[in-house]
Amino acid sequence: MCARGALVALALLAGCGEETKPLPAAPDTIKLATPDFKDGGPIPRALTCDGAGTAPTITWQDVVGAAELVLFVEDTDAGFTHWTAYSISAAGGSGLAPQGQFPTGAKYGKNSAGKTGWTPPCPPEGDDPHDYVFTLYALKDASALPDGAEPDEVRAKLAGAVARGTFTGTYARP
């Protein structure tokens, strides 16, 4: 019985079995994409823990009436937040973050690993492919989040967003 309890504790620490809190709804009017993989398709190995772990390039279009953009990326199968970025300028209505490098002024929050910035997909070996959902929110007012905000702090600022865009990638370890 003790061994079973230890395994459950390890699974929870690894982010497995956690319940994912649904992200707030908002009108799906932002075109969010990456040139690195197709929406719903597999994430290239180079962007994962089995490769270089590089952050994907992110592009967005059709942002209107926003003071700030917030990116939230999570593995919905494990309840693990992989990346938060905020204080992203909405000026011009479109943008580009090559290899996850957002324009000057953007801030990065902590992920579920307790690190700031991108943590690449790394599901347990033998699992079915996990879904990694990338969501960009347009906020009417600035979030005022500090550098290194916790995922739940970032999530709380998403309520009342005026728009969002999303895409999903999948990954299973060999």
In this structure, what DSSP letter does residue 116 have? B
Q: 109, 116 in Cβ contact below 8 A?
A: yes
CATH architecture of 19-171: Alpha-Beta Complex (3.90)
Locate 29 and state its tokens: 């009017």
Poorest-pLDDT segment among 20-34, 68-82, 108-122: 20-34
- Across the range 19-44, mean pLDDT stands at 91
Residue 69 dihedral angles phi and psi, to the nearest 5°: -110, 145
Nearest alpha carbon to residue 78 among 39, 47, 111: 111
- Across the range 112-136, mean pLDDT stands at 97
Q: Whose structure tokens read 């902590």?
A: 110
pLDDT of 19 over the 70 cut: no
Nearest alpha carbon to residue 139 among 165, 160, 108, 166: 160
pLDDT 10s digits, 93-113 = 999 999 999 999 999 999 999
3-state class (DSSP) for residue 70: strand
- Which residues make Cβ contacts (< 8 Å) with residue 70, sequence separation at least 6? 84, 85, 86, 88, 136, 137, 139, 143, 154, 157, 158, 161
Residue 171 dihedral angles phi and psi, to the nearest 5°: -155, 135
